[in-house]
Amino acid sequence: MASREVEIVADERRTVGVLDTPDGSPLALIVLGHGAGGNAQSPRLRAIAEALVERGMAVFRFDFFYRRAGKSIPDRMPLLLECFRAATDAARSQVTEPPLVLGGHSMGGRVASMLVAEERLCDGLLLLSYPLHPPGKPDQLRDEHLPRIEVPTLLFSGTNDPFCTPALMEGVLARVGDNFRMNWIEQADHSLHVPRSAGTDAEVRAQLADRVASWVKTLGVAR
């Protein structure tokens, strides 16, 4: 695996991304946004990226503007969307040929989903631990935009994720298009961490990466 930093510029704002590439031509280019409290170097995001690269995909993970500026509170959604779009452009300038997948963990995935709901910028959407609702607030669903997503969408969530009650998510999926494919990870939490009784995190990442690799092979290159 080779890695290199790539500058991301939008107007006067700047941040940086890391492009991880496999040996040979990649199956897909996957742009991943981090969760609200993380960054591009978060251990779990890096580990997932490494598992994907091992299976032939290029992965571009990046810092949102607020994290690059040393802030802990996320920017408002318009600025998060602007950053994700700029990151996508930067990633695509480096890897031009294979199918393009946008996504991310938690907030990063939510931002990607809102971007794709506005405009079909990619061939697929990868949502890791989508934050369907705040913990303890199942009445505040973040699902209004999901029916507008037209690209194939692959989701992974833990059955013990306080941000995504399984019954509520299944209800949402019943109302959206059949382009959504849900994968439940038994006993996993919001970080996709599982207790020892359910296996290991490395096993979870391997299974996740295997499924993503099979899925991206079904994506068309025309957008």
Distance of CA 59 to the CA centre of its chain: 10
How many Cβ atoms sit within 10 Å of the Cβ of residue 62? 30
Q: Residues, the chain, total?
A: 223
Q: Does position 14 have pLDDT exceeding 50, yes or no?
A: yes
pLDDT tens, position by position, 134-184: 999 999 999 999 999 999 999 999 999 999 999 999 999 999 989 999 999
Distance of CA 194 to the CA centre of its chain: 19
Summarize the confidence of residues 63-86 as an average pLDDT. 97
Q: pLDDT category, 56, cuts 50, 70, 90?
A: very high
pTM score: 0.96
What is the token pair recorded at 63? 């810092």
In whole numbers, what is the pLDDT of the chain averaged over residues? 96
pLDDT of residue 109: 98
Domains of the chain in start order, with CATH, are: 2-216 (3.40.50.1820)
Q: pLDDT category, 200, cuts 50, 70, 90?
A: very high
Output the furthest CA–CA distance in the chain (Å, rounded): 49
